[in-house]
Structure 1
Amino acid sequence: MKLIPFVLSLLFFTLLFSCGAEKEENEALKEQVIAIHDEVMPEIGHLKNQQSKLIEKANSLENEASVASYREDLNLAAQSCESAYDNMFVWMRQFKSEYDEMSEEETKAYLMEQLRMVEKVKVDILSAKSTADSLLNVSI
């Protein structure tokens, strides 16, 4: 009979600490999501600037048939910059930073999905920026 209170106490403390560990894991996931956002957000201004330069350069080559392919690459890169820019703000608008109405498991699933989404935003931004930089450094 003395074993039952001990087992119940052990079970209680096990549950208590496992919930705390899940909460800490979710907090770490949230910090990882925010860190990725914070890493690429400063690139947004540069991305818009590069987009403008790409469009300007493409327009300046409008009457030159010999560089039609390059002009098309400039326009595609400008579209990629616009898309990456828009995707960042779409992601930011839908991101929830409070999870009071979610269980720890739901919060973890939500944050894992947000991590996947913000990593894609990061890849899109860095790729668009790299392509724009390369195309703008071509001299004709």
Structure 2
Amino acid sequence: MKKWLLYLSLPLTLIACEGGASEAERQQTLETEVMDLHDEAMADMGKIYRLRRNLTSLRDSLQAQSTDTGTISLLTRRIQELEEADEAMMEWMRQYKAPDTLAHQQAMVYLNAEHQKMERVKSLMDSTITNAQETYATYGKK
């Protein structure tokens, strides 16, 4: 019976001593999450470039025909929004620095802030792409 209790208590003791992920593992996990968000956003950059090109071409052809200024104004606004989303991503990439030289607590604060920034950039890109796609679908087929 005593041996049985010993065998049962050994794994429980090992689990209790492990105490979950280490500081380095938590930091690496958070940094990976930030970079995964970045990678998702980067995958959408091609959509931004294509939509900007398509909307610019459509706007230019409508301007040449001297047609509806409201539509031209909307297309110009959507192009500007795409440019702003692109610039938000570029700005994040320019300012991001891997927290290799920071102490753990400082690195976690920095990475949490960068995670929030990247979520905002990704959200901006997603909404901008959706609006541009809807606008192009509406006016690009006329």
Displacement of 1:23 = 2.3
Displacement of 1:136 = 0.7
CA distance in 2, matches of 1:21, 1:71: 56
Aligned residue for 2:98, secondary structure, equals coil
Q: Which residue of 1 aligns with 2:40?
A: 39
Q: Which residue of 1 aligns with 2:124?
A: 124
CA distance in 1, matches of 2:78, 2:126: 12
Q: Which residue of 1 aligns with 2:108?
A: 108
After TM superposition, the score normalised by the length of structure 2 is 0.77
Q: RMSD between aligned alpha carbons?
A: 1.7
Q: Which residue of 2 aligns with 1:53?
A: 54
Structure 1 residues without counterparts, runs of 5 or longer? 1-16
Aligned residue for 1:97, secondary structure, equals coil
In the TM superposition, what are the counterparts of 1:1-140 in structure 2 within 5 Å? 21-62=22-63, 63-64=66-67, 67-100=68-101, 102-138=102-138, 139-140=141-142
CA distance in 2, matches of 1:73, 1:23: 49
Displacement of 1:111 = 0.3
Moved over 3 A (4+): none
Q: How many equivalent pairs are there?
A: 120
Structure 2 residues without counterparts, runs of 5 or longer? 1-17
Displacement of 1:21 = 2.6
Displacement of 1:22 = 2.5
> Could you report, residue by residue, the CA deviation over 1:34-60 in whole angstroms, capped at 9, with x for unpaired residues?
111111211112211111111111122
Aligned residue for 2:100, secondary structure, equals coil
CA distance in 1, matches of 2:127, 2:120: 10
> Could you report, residue by residue, the CA deviation over 1:85-106 in whole angstroms, capped at 9, with x for unpaired residues?
1111111121112422x11111
Displacement of 1:112 = 0.7
The one-letter code matched in structure 1 to 2:56 is I
Q: Is the 8 A contact 2:99 2:107 kept in 1?
A: no
After TM superposition, the score normalised by the length of structure 1 is 0.78
